[in-house]
Amino acid sequence: MASASARILAIDAGTTGVTALVVDDRGRVQAKGYREFPQSFPRPGWVEHDPEDWWTAMISASSDALAEAQTQPSHLAAVGITNQRETTVVWEREGLRPVHPAIVWQDRRTAPLCVELRDEGWEDRVRERTGLVVDPYFSGTKLAWILENVGGAREEAEAGRLAFGTVDTYLMARLTGGSAHVTDRTNASRTMLYDIHRLDWDDELLDRLRVPHQLLPAVMPSSGTFGLTDPDRFLGARVPISGIGGDQQAALFGQACFDPGQTKNTYGTGSFVLMNTGHEAPRSTAGLITTIACTEGPEVHYALEGSIFVTGAAIQWLRDGLRLIERADQTGPVAESVEDTGGVYFVPALTGLGAPWWDPYARGTVVGITRGTTRAHLVRAAVEAMAYQTRDVVDAMRSDAGIGLTDLKADGGASAMDVLLQFQADLLGVPVRRSRVQETTALGAAYLAGLGEGVWASTAELASHWQAEREFEPHAGAATESRYAGWRRAVERSLRWAEPE
């Protein structure tokens, strides 16, 4: 093991902001920095970011964390990166300037192309090779849209002057001054272009979407040296970048779910339930996806995942759109001020519905409103929707994996709400365990980077660091099944709402 002074900078480039943690060699968080960045919604169903906002937020968050930890960048053992997945950006190799705003994972503009692919019979081939479903969520159709709709992009791409990547790949390019064009297997597995069994880009899918191979990054395991930071661009130091993982796989790693059957849910902008399935890559028949999990060596581990598009983002909408709350941290107390929702259900299909429905044309629905409905009932309905959507996914997971959950590890910003986790335990009928470290996504990136540089010797050593902050036991006799039946009726009303005639 490295000396006790070893510290790692973990960068979590999320959907609404960048978090930076300084983590010591006992897995303890020494300091944290955070910067939010703007969201852009140019048309209904479209979501974009300016990649320059990622970069400036990352620099500021990292500087704040290092200053709080009183750590010089040159003293870092490694940097780890975790990121919002599927978000797609194309940039010039010279100058690193994006040719178009990044198309965020929530964006639904490529729904018509996905319909074409399904009509052409690609659904089974995509699922067999990539583990995914044909859906606008994933990067492949977003990349195809940029090449088709940005003037000159296809010609520049074919000439080798452009690069494609997810957020990790773009930040790697900026961090290394353009010397690294690389991603890890977890992010590659989310593009709908990568064969998760052969561990290579799929030529047939690339041909169908007219994606030039020279656009694509090299793909590596999640732990190991990806490149070195350029001191002229990043805090004046040359530090190895030794861990990369898509945010939800990184959270699975940070929750020490290293063995088959271990499961976690991250309650973030969206919610993501992942179950480690070991070396097996089960094909889902219940609306889940099969994805690559973070690994520190050549062996490949897989996971079943249920991706829920909108959970915490619904709280943002209550705050910014409806102004029912002034701050996100008011959500829990307001929800707890009433015993239940008064019969109100809120289906937050604000950008379609993900697993297990996969309906890009679903739209947000509120049902059960009466004269007695108050602001608190609507806020509680948004909180309970997080738990209901998780139950939808867990039921599908139980069916696909044939494994009964013994517990659920919880993390992410919304997991701070006791009212949510207690309702979740009641709804699932198993204990829900909240991690002592809430930032498990960034912690997973730190673990991957530390393993890559020898700060830790094994995942067994990392597992010894995990601790629960609180456990929520299901209440005996909680009347949840009838309420869950009401949720399913509400979901039926939201499905296919915006489907074109």
Encode 75-136 in three state secondary structure. HCCEEEEEECCCCEEEEECCCCCECCCEECCCCCCCHHHHHHHHHCCCHHHHHHHHCCCCCC
Rounded Cα distance between 111 and 135, Å, is 7
Q: Do the beta carbons of residue 328 and residue 279 sit within 8 Å? A: no
The share of the chain scoring above pLDDT 90, in percent, equals: 75
**Dihedral sign, Cα of residue 412, residue 415, residue 420, residue 424:** positive
Choose between 189 and 496: higher pLDDT: 189
Q: Is the confidence at residue 98, as pLDDT, over 90?
A: yes
User: Which amino acid is residue 56, in one-letter code?
Assistant: T
Q: Are 96 and 164 in contact (CB under 8 A)?
A: no
Please tell me the pTM assigned to this model.
0.84
Instruction: Supply 139's token pair.
Output: 């990067």
Q: With a cut of 50, say whether residue 243 has pLDDT above it.
A: yes
pLDDT band at 478 (very low <50, low <70, confident <90, very high): low
Can you tell me the distance from the alpha carbon of 289 to that of 297, in angstroms, rounded to the nearest whole number? Answer: 23
pLDDT above 80: residue 319: yes
pLDDT higher than threshold 90 for residue 149 = yes
The encoded tokens of residue 202 equal 């799929």
| Rounded Cα distance, 204 and 452, in Å | 33
Task: Give bridge partners of residue 18 from the DSSP assignment.
Answer: 13, 35
Strand pairing category for 223-228 and 240-246: antiparallel
Helix (H) or strand (E) holding 483: helix 481-494
CA distances from 218 to 163, 169, 302, 312, 328 (A): 11, 10, 20, 33, 39
pLDDT tier, 501 (very low <50, low <70, confident <90, very high otherwise): low
- CB under 8 Å to 428, separation ≥6 — which residues? 390, 391, 394, 405, 408, 474
Lowest mean pLDDT among 95-104, 121-130, 143-152, 273-282: 273-282
pLDDT at 1 over 60: no
Q: Give me the pLDDT at residue 18, please.
A: 96
Is pLDDT above 90 for 383? yes
Q: Cα angle at 358 between 480 and 395, to 5 degrees?
A: 35
Other beta carbons within 10 angstroms of residue 317's beta carbon come to: 16
115-142 pLDDT per residue, tens: 999 999 999 999 999 999 898 989 999 9
When computed from its CA atoms, the radius of gyration of the chain, rounded to whole angstroms, is 21
Question: CA 172 → CA 146, 228, 363, 378, distances in Å?
Answer: 21, 9, 36, 41
pLDDT tens digit string along 405-445?
Answer: 888 999 888 999 999 999 999 999 999 999 888 888 999 99
| Pair 236, 170: CB distance under 8 Å | no
Phi, psi of 318 (to 5 degrees): -60, -35
What are 82's strand-pairing partners? 12, 245
Identify how many contiguous H helices and E strands the chain contains and give both numbers. Answer: 16, 23
Helix axes 375-401, 418-428, angle to 10 degrees: 40
247 contacts 12 by C-beta, under 8 angstroms: yes
> Is pLDDT above 50 for 42?
yes
pLDDT confidence of 500, banded at 50, 70, 90? low
Percent of the chain with pLDDT over 70: 98
Measured between alpha carbons, how far is 240 from 231 in angstroms, rounded to an integer?
Answer: 11
Res 225: pLDDT: 94
